[in-house]
Chains A and B, each alone.
Chain A
């Protein structure tokens, strides 16, 4: 085919099949993505990703750098809208509602689908104000007492409260990196989202802070649906129930985490998790 010669070398094959392994005891689906394609200008970054993300569980996205994990994650709360020249095709349903439906309010969507970034990014405000930010803009608290309640509860859920209870009104930027990241998690859960997206939340943290955040994620999964992008195989194995392996803008394999790590069905998954490429 003449066109094949023109296609970029790393372009995915036109037809590919994601290898799927269902859970033994399937959970209800929270987010359903169907052939999601993403373009940055002329460049296609995702070539049709189809995946079901289960409720109240941790789903890990793994894959080599540049394979489109962050891109797909950003589709789930429409943060791609803020990037000039980014275009999304396909369908994403959250609780069976299309999130790209023009009648849907993106502001509400982002309140339901929170996001934690790779680098801790607390606002240059006090710890209290950082956590109160979401409840304030969404009008979740009717009184000052109620707001305080939400802030304290969120900090407790993020297992940060005991460390900062005496300095709630000092700047959030004065905390350590690990504390800042937990502050960002507290900020996200303060608006009680359904889904929390985490893009390499531990890559800027030391092992001890990482362990704390991982513990926290395990705790949070009781109440939230969590999607986490990580470059650490161990982390994916430790915290997630399901794992999805991306490669060159395609979803290669997804299944229960122990299955993917001990007995992957795909050759490429095997190579990646054993460190043969990536």
Chain B
């Protein structure tokens, strides 16, 4: 029925548009008539917007509240003999049975009260849906008639439409902002719940991370420890390896493209970098697991180094490949933004191209390059898929890249999949990790954007 209502809204809005336009045209056409303020199309749009939007909001609200209201009505209508002495959970169970029955899914033989209630629910649903349709239609027609009377030569339909449009855009951006705020609030809320169970100091400074505690009394598991230091250390280790791989390669690529490559090379290399940036991280993940990790293990074996199968090196190396395009394209922009006169000035002093690069262009572009590196770092720290596939699960506190380490994102994933309940410290710990991760990457991003912005102003 909601579908029909939406269809009706579209149809009536179109009708409203034509009504508005044709009645405005009548003014416009009349000989010696007053000059019309807005084009007829704006009059049509004005009416259409006022017919469509309120009805649309009404239908949405109606549809979202109808279910809950009807549930309450059905529960209230159950005979008191049936509800007597039942806990809320049992009542909920009965309610879902009624709902299932009403939508035609029968399991076993339902109790007669439930059968009756289901029939009642079906008929009420019918009535409510029709009522919604009728109310929406009435509303639209009333608005149409009323708005039609507003149409006059001097009516500023164009400005009104403008207002409505800007309102619509504000609404959309508010939705985006509210979603973000909502996510942060829920993250905070769950983290606070976690910090009630585990003290925040233990979480931030504890050196032991063993979150696999018993969910049910009959399970055998460790006592649990929630010191996040090893997890963050693992993240830092892998990100550091990634940056060590990506910074030189990305930076030298950018330098080569800006200063040395001719157009032909540039036209080949740039699209390839874009392809690299577009590869899904899961593909990088299995590249890490299937190719890089075994290669490193073998190389380690040849050199006589003990290498864990999930070495930090494999995950970090592949992550480094992934963030190369970030660093190279942002460094490229930063180098290009250095005015040509700097370059000419240096060359005219008799400097070679590489002297010009290291002594003038790089220092001048350094803030922008730093910004790019920080953005890449925050990307690496928050990266999930590669490390879930290629890094380990055990939190070891080490700086040996051949060891297996775990990362924040890996822990979050492993805590939230499988057999979980939403009030155990194990699950809540995921939110606390997420919160800290969010704060770190947000900080890095803000810093990076600040730096990039500052250097933009420098030459303008």
A interface vs B, CB < 8 Å?
77, 79, 82, 107-111, 114-115, 117, 119, 121-125, 133-134, 137-138, 184, 187-188, 191
Contact = CB atoms under 8 A, between A and B. Distances in A.
Interface stretch (B170-178, B328-336, B338-346, B425-433): B338-346
B336 to A, nearest CB: 15
B364 A137 contact: no
B342 A125 contact: no
Contact of A123 (B346, B347, B458): B346
B351 interface: yes
A121 B355 CA distance: 17
Nearest to A109: B350
A117 to B, nearest CB: 6
What class of interface size applies to chain B in its complex with A?
10 to 19
A125 to B, nearest CB: 7
Contact of A184 (B343, B345, B351, B360): B345
A115 B348 contact: yes
B341 A134 contact: no
A137 B348 contact: no
Contacts of A82: 343-344, 347
B341 A121 contact: yes
Interface string B115-149: 00000000000000000000000000000000000
For the residues of B in contact with A, the DSSP-based class is helix
Contacts of A191: 349-350
Contact of B350 (A117, A138, A184): A138
Contacts of B339: 121
Contacts of B182: none
Nearest to A193: B350
B359 interface: yes
Contacts of B346: 123, 133
B348 A110 contact: yes
Contacts of B342: 121, 123-124
A150 B419 CA distance: 76
B352 interface: yes
For the residues of A in contact with B, the DSSP-based class is helix
A187 B346 CA distance: 10
A211 B343 CA distance: 28
- Highest count of chain A CB atoms <10 Å: which of B341, B349, B355, B360: B349
A107 B348 contact: no
B349 A111 contact: yes
Contacts of B67: none
Contacts of B350: 107-111, 134, 137-138, 191
B349 A137 contact: yes
- Highest count of chain A CB atoms <10 Å: which of B339, B347, B364: B347
Nearest to B360: A123
Nearest to A188: B349
B363 interface: yes
Interface string B348-373: 11111001000110011000000000
Contacts of B344: 79, 82, 117, 121
Given A123-B364, A124-B364, A125-B363, A114 B349 contact: yes
A112 to B, nearest CB: 8
A108 B341 CA distance: 20
A184 B351 CA distance: 15
A124 B363 contact: yes
B444 to A, nearest CB: 25
A187 B349 CA distance: 8
Given A123-B364, A137-B355, A137-B359, A117 B349 contact: no
Nearest to A136: B359
A111 B355 CA distance: 14
Contacts of A111: 349-350
A122 B341 CA distance: 9
A123 B345 contact: yes
Nearest to A111: B350
Contacts of A79: 344, 347-348
Contacts of A122: 345
A253 to B, nearest CB: 28
Interface in B185-220: none
Contacts of B355: 137
B359 A133 contact: yes
27 contacts: A79-B347, A82-B343, A82-B344, A82-B347, A107-B350, A107-B352, A108-B350, A109-B350, A110-B348, A110-B349, A114-B348, A115-B348, A121-B339, A121-B341, A121-B342, A121-B344, A123-B342, A123-B345, A123-B360, A124-B363, A133-B346, A133-B351, A134-B350, A137-B349, A137-B351, A138-B350, A188-B349
A181 to B, nearest CB: 12
Contacts of A114: 348-349
Contacts of A117: 341, 344-345, 348
A129 B59 CA distance: 71
Given A117-B344, A121-B342, A121-B344, A134 B349 contact: yes
Contacts of B363: 124-125
Nearest to B353: A82
A109 B348 CA distance: 9
A115 B341 CA distance: 12
A6 to B, nearest CB: 29
A192 to B, nearest CB: 12
Contacts of A188: 349
A108 B349 CA distance: 9
A141 to B, nearest CB: 15
- Highest count of chain B CB atoms <10 Å: which of A77, A115, A137: A137
Given A124-B364, A137-B359, A107 B345 contact: no
5 closest A-B pairs by beta carbon, nearest first, are: A111-B350, A110-B350, A121-B341, A115-B348, A121-B345
